[in-house]
Amino acid sequence: MERDQFKKLLECYADGTANEEQKILIEDWYANYDDEDAMQEFSSSGRTEVVKEEMKAIILSNSRHYPFWKMQIKQYYKYAAVLALLIPAFFFGKQLFKPSVGLQQPAERFNVIQTRNGEYKKVILADRSVIQMNPETRLRIPAKFAVRTSGERVYTSRSVFLDRGEAFFEVTKDARHPFTVYTKHIQTRVLGTRFAVNTQPSAITEVSVSDGKVEVSDGKKVFDYLVPGKRLHYNFRTGKWRVRDFATREHNNWFEQVIDLDHASFEVLAEVIRVNYGVVLKGNRRFTAGYLYNLQLRSAHSLDQTMKIICSVHQNKYRRIGNEVVIY
């Protein structure tokens, strides 16, 4: 991305006119940028005062658009903080985008596919790979295709970005073009196989394999090479991961749209109901704190059908009040 383009993107971000994809680009870059290295260059360059003056000039030049006396304090500091990292990068030749898992994205268009509560989608890629998307999942597919004179579509590389949610991948084998799934913190690389990737808001990402071999890494260090029946559990806050066994028949659920609950707590059940039906499941904590659920739920069932199954486990009843379902 050219400097002027990036500066314009920063200005849009600062004044609140950036779209969702632009916000993600800036926030991911800012979160992944090696600020300590940038500041080290800043302090060791011998041009500290020059750079400070350049920073001041850029901020002041933008004050025509964002008067200091009208600018919100938080907004100003966000803009100034990003500039503080950006300007040393300009002066000392540092790459704007540090090679990190969260920002392995070229300057090109993306096809964004999202699912809502209770919505499942099947995506077929140009190489005939298939992606089964669970509810509340966001996927970005780079527009990396060329068209020959014959009209045939050919891909030049194979990579997708799973921003949130859970998806199952059936990857067409192609030894010349590895297939990579990028999440915010890890990347999964394969040649042709069947596997699932699950990103959770609680800082957890899981990769599970039912066929073939999968490489899981953070872009620098390979965590493991997973084979069928293995699941890697990664916590980006601690930087730790572990590998465990799982029953590969779980992956059949993507085709049947079945949710398997194995000793699931009431809190886990409530999250499943929220994602699939868009309602809040509540209960008396004195009782539900000890509840565990071993059952199968089918997304094709209505909410009432599902609630009858759930209530049969602990002999409960339920009532719906607006957007809430209360178990008693």
pLDDT band at 286 (very low <50, low <70, confident <90, very high): confident
pLDDT in tens, 82-116: 555 454 444 443 343 444 444 444 456 788 999 99
Q: How many CA atoms lie within 13 A of 20 on its CB side?
A: 6
Report d(CA 250, CA 252) in Å as an integer: 5
Return the CATH number of the domain spanning residue range 110-252.
Answer: 2.60.120.1440
Residue 278 Rama label (left phi>0; alpha psi -120 to 50; beta)? left
Nearest to 190 by CA among 155, 226, 164: 226
Q: Where is pLDDT greater, at 32 or 213? A: 213
Nearest to 102 by CA among 24, 184, 212, 204: 184
**pLDDT mean over 284-297:** 88
pLDDT in tens, 42-85: 444 444 455 455 555 544 444 444 444 333 434 444 455 555 54
Cβ neighbours around 94 below 10 Å, total: 16
pLDDT in tens, 300-319: 788 999 999 999 999 999 99
- The predicted model scores a pTM of 0.57
3-state class of 54 per DSSP? helix
Return the CATH number of the domain spanning residue range 257-327.
Answer: 3.55.50.30
